[in-house]
Amino acid sequence: MPGDITLRNGAKPILHHRWKGGRGQRPHQGLVLAKTDGGAHPYVTWAMASDGGDFWDCFQGHYCGQLAEGFRSFAERRKGAPDA
């Protein structure tokens, strides 16, 4: 998880994991646990993708009301992710 990342949607990354994209995918793929600007679900885990590795687009979110729930969600989704 070296280096900082910037999410295009403005959310603040807490924890992330990234790997090289496969055939037919964008070059950089990943998973992120982030803090959003509020609402009923201030934490979210997203799949993410990037062309250059600095700015990331997020999708397929699992929204959480508590940080602990966000960590559990990240850990569960991380089990199915490739190694970096």
Residue 84 inside a domain? The answer is no
- Nearest one of 45, 74, 47, 38 to 62, comparing CA atoms: 45
Residue 27 inside a domain? The answer is yes
Q: Is the pLDDT score of 1 beyond 70?
A: no
Residue 36 inside a domain? The answer is yes
Q: Per the structure, how many domains does the chain have?
A: 1
pLDDT at 84: 60
Domain that holds residue 20: 6-79
How far is it, in rounded angstroms, from Cα 11 to Cα 55?
12
Residue 1 inside a domain? The answer is no
Residue 25 inside a domain? The answer is yes
Expressed in percent and rounded to 5, the helix, strand and coil fractions of the chain are: 15, 45, 40
pLDDT, tens digit (0-9, with 9 covering 90-100), for 61-75: 999 999 999 999 999
pLDDT at 80: 83
pLDDT, tens digit (0-9, with 9 covering 90-100), for 4-52: 899 999 999 999 999 999 999 999 999 999 999 878 899 999 999 999 9
